[in-house]
């Protein structure tokens, strides 16, 4: 039997060390909500690492992660701390064993001020569409 994973590792600058500390509380609340879902969210790990500075949150998967939960958290932080500009991340979908169509990934970019998606891509359907004669620029 194969196991499937989603991997990512990214930073979010929340402006101040106080905001970073407050973000940990927001993260804990969101994690509690995710644990009560059926099925529970895979979530993600969050920490403030000295090598990234005291204002940046390091967000990453723990074995596997939930990109949607990550996006939700970033939008919460953006609203709570008045963040602006663009933010994005990439993720990889992998499998513990070689399987046809078991690997892929994507990327997502959002406008922090509005919470709106700027652009996103997901490779799962893209390759099949191109091989079926679809437009690679669409």
Q: 105 burial class (0-12, 13-18, 19+ CB within 10 angstroms)?
A: middle
**94 falls in which pLDDT band (50, 70, 90)?**
very high
Q: Which domains does the chain have, with CATH numbers?
A: 4-131 (3.30.70)
Can you say whether residue 82 is alpha, beta or left, with left for phi > 0 and alpha for psi between -120 and 50 degrees?
A: left
pTM (predicted TM-score): 0.89
In whole angstroms, what is the distance from residue 23 CA to residue 116 CA?
20
Per-residue pLDDT band for 22 (boundaries 50, 70, 90) equals very high
Query: pLDDT digits over 75-93, tens only?
Result: 999 999 999 999 999 999 9
């Amino acid at each position: 039997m194969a196991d499937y994973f989603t991997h990512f590792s990214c930073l979010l600058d929340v402006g101040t060390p106080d905001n970073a500390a407050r973000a940990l509380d927001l993260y804990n609340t969101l994690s509690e909500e995710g644990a009560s879902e059926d099925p529970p969210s895979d979530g993600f790990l969050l920490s403030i690492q000295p090598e990234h500075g005291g204002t940046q949150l390091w967000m990453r998967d723990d074995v596997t992660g939930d990109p949607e939960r990550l996006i939700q958290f970033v939008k919460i932080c953006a609203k709570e701390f008045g963040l602006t500009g663009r933010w994005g991340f990439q993720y990889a979908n992998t499998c513990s064993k070689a399987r046809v169509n078991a690997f892929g990934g994507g990327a997502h970019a959002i406008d922090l001020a509005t919470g709106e998606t700027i652009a996103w891509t997901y490779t799962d359907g893209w390759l099949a569409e191109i091989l079926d004669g679809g437009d690679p620029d669409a």
